[in-house]
Amino acid sequence: MKILVFNCGSSSIKFKLFQMPEEMVLAEGALERVGNDDASATLKTPHGTIETKQAIADYPHGFAIIKNLLLDPNNGALTSLSEVSACGHRVVHGGDSFGGSMPIDDELEQGIEAVFELAPLHNPPNLTGIQQARAMFGDIPQMACFDTAFHQSIPEIAFRYALPEELYNDHKIRRYGFHGMSHQFVARQAARMLGKHKYSVNLITCHLGNGSSIAAIKDGHSIDTSMGLTPLEGLVMGTRSGDLDPGIIFYLHRKGYDTNSLDTLLNKKSGLLGISGSSNDVRDLELKADAGDDKAALALDIFAYRIKKYIGAYMAVLNRVDAIVFTGGIGENGVAMRSRVLADMDQQGIIIDDTRNVVHTGEPGEIQAATSRIKVMVIPTNEELAIARDTYAMTEKQPNKLPTL
């Protein structure tokens, strides 16, 4: 069975074609800067690579280009669109209505639209991509895989804010969490690597990238996570502030900042970029810090310190921790950052082996020392494969039912 996975952003369309259940990648591609004259389109298959620079006016034009790429007689992956059995779609926000991946129909599209206000930058293009794929592929199954779904198991004591109840009832203000497909994927992989059932592991999963979040996973279920109503809460990130005193917003408002400038400040000008004044990229900051840039060093220290605090908090919540898992671009490849985060935690039973830490750069494996009571793992995430697995499970193994995640 061939399953095509889409991840549609405000100006990009990423896609990957899988042969299931073998989980073989047949093709992957991306359209960047959709809506601009200097857009680009790429496709990689075992036959070769296609790269073009061209104007891509909008999503219908973009999906027409994707069709042509996949059907390219020399480097494409299909001879006919009818070879695609199902499509899976990443949807960032499912509100509190969707606790798992769901077959797409008109009613589900309305449900995605109903939570536009909770993810105004993400859900509209997610829905547009779904609509274009349904038009292109006709009656084949289409599945929506929600980034918030894995965190729907979080209990009320963790997802409720200390605000008047009507704000929760009337405006759905609560912790939702994000990166759910990633946290779920690495949690399941960790269970396999540890030789445990997926519902018998307690984990702290650290998805670290330009956007970063941590989840506490008890018996295979998410019970807390650092991101909240929006992806702004929690860890220091590339350009997002993460946790801060809400009073800062009122103070700055009185100083003349309006809501738009505050939004830009906290989401696009803060985090590593704001502290360092130079970059939101950990790799750049490590080079600058090594060269004596004190602000770059401070940014890295604050980033690591916030992660350490969350790990400590979630150790208390879980009581028993089988493993701490690092994933995401920084989590998988950041040898120095992993060491920085877990330094001086030997009294909590966490000790990294420096050699194993280097060996498992971008590669799955355990990096704790022999004397460490808690395992530390590096597991590369694969959100597209997680979506393909869910789509395959619902399409082939359990039709008309939710998969057992």
Q: Cα(256)–Cα(230) distance, rounded to whole angstroms? A: 24
As given in the structure block, the two tokens for residue 268 are 């696009």
Q: Find tokens 């695609």 and name the residue.
A: 84
Yes or no: say if 134 and 147 are a contact pair by the CB < 8 Å rule: no
Q: Quick count: other Cβ atoms within 10 Å of Cβ 288?
A: 20
The amino acid sitting at 36 is N
- How many Cα atoms sit within 13 Å of 191 on the Cβ side? 18
As given in the structure block, the two tokens for residue 377 are 């793992």
DSSP 8-state code for residue 368: B
User: Angle at the Cα of 221 (from 388 to 114), degrees rounded to 5?
Assistant: 65
As given in the structure block, the two tokens for residue 300 are 């890295």
- How many Cα atoms sit within 13 Å of 5 on the Cβ side? 26
Q: Establish whether 147 is a catalytic residue.
A: yes
The ranges assigned to domains in the chain are: 2-146, 197-383
Yes or no: say if 269 and 239 are a contact pair by the CB < 8 Å rule: yes
Q: Cα(236)–Cα(211) distance, rounded to whole angstroms? A: 9
Write the CB contacts of 383 (distance below 8 Å, at least 6 apart in sequence): 7, 90, 181, 182, 185
State the pLDDT at residue 397: 58
* Rounded mean pLDDT for each run of 10 residues along the chain, 405 residues in total: 93 95 96 92 95 93 95 94 96 87 93 88 91 94 94 97 97 94 96 97 97 97 96 96 97 97 95 97 97 98 98 98 97 97 97 97 96 98 94 73 42
As given in the structure block, the two tokens for residue 311 are 């790990």
Q: Cα(13)–Cα(358) distance, rounded to whole angstroms? A: 34
Classified by CATH at the fold level, domain 2-146 comes out as Nucleotidyltransferase; domain 5 (3.30.420)
Task: Write down the pTM of the prediction.
Answer: 0.91
Q: Cα(405)–Cα(98) distance, rounded to whole angstroms? A: 14
Backbone angles phi, psi at 238, to 5 degrees: -55, -55
State the pLDDT at residue 99: 80
Q: What's 90-116 look like in SS3?
A: EECCCCCCCCCCEECCHHHHHHHHHCH
In 3D space, the residue among 89, 174, 176 whose CA is nearest the CA of residue 134 turns out to be: 89
State the pLDDT at residue 376: 98
Yes or no: say if 198 and 269 are a contact pair by the CB < 8 Å rule: no
Q: Cα(11)–Cα(41) distance, rounded to whole angstroms? A: 12
Q: Tell me the DSSP string of 24-39.
A: EEEEEEEEESTTSTT-
Burial of 247 (0-12, 13-18, 19+ CB in 10 A): exposed
Burial of 164 (0-12, 13-18, 19+ CB in 10 A): exposed
Yes or no: say if 70 and 17 are a contact pair by the CB < 8 Å rule: yes
Catalytic residue, from 58, 147, 293, 322: name it.
147
Question: Does 2-146 match 197-383 in CATH topology?
Answer: yes
Residues, the chain? 405
DSSP 8-state code for residue 352: B
- How many Cα atoms sit within 13 Å of 93 on the Cβ side? 25
Classified by CATH at the fold level, domain 197-383 comes out as Nucleotidyltransferase; domain 5 (3.30.420)
In 3D space, the residue among 242, 247, 312 whose CA is nearest the CA of residue 272 turns out to be: 242
Q: Quick count: other Cβ atoms within 10 Å of Cβ 95?
A: 19
State the pLDDT at residue 9: 86
Backbone angles phi, psi at 101, to 5 degrees: -70, 145
DSSP 8-state code for residue 160: -
In 3D space, the residue among 218, 120, 107, 119 whose CA is nearest the CA of residue 177 turns out to be: 119
State the pLDDT at residue 404: 40
Three-state secondary structure call for residue 157: helix
Yes or no: say if 79 and 72 are a contact pair by the CB < 8 Å rule: no
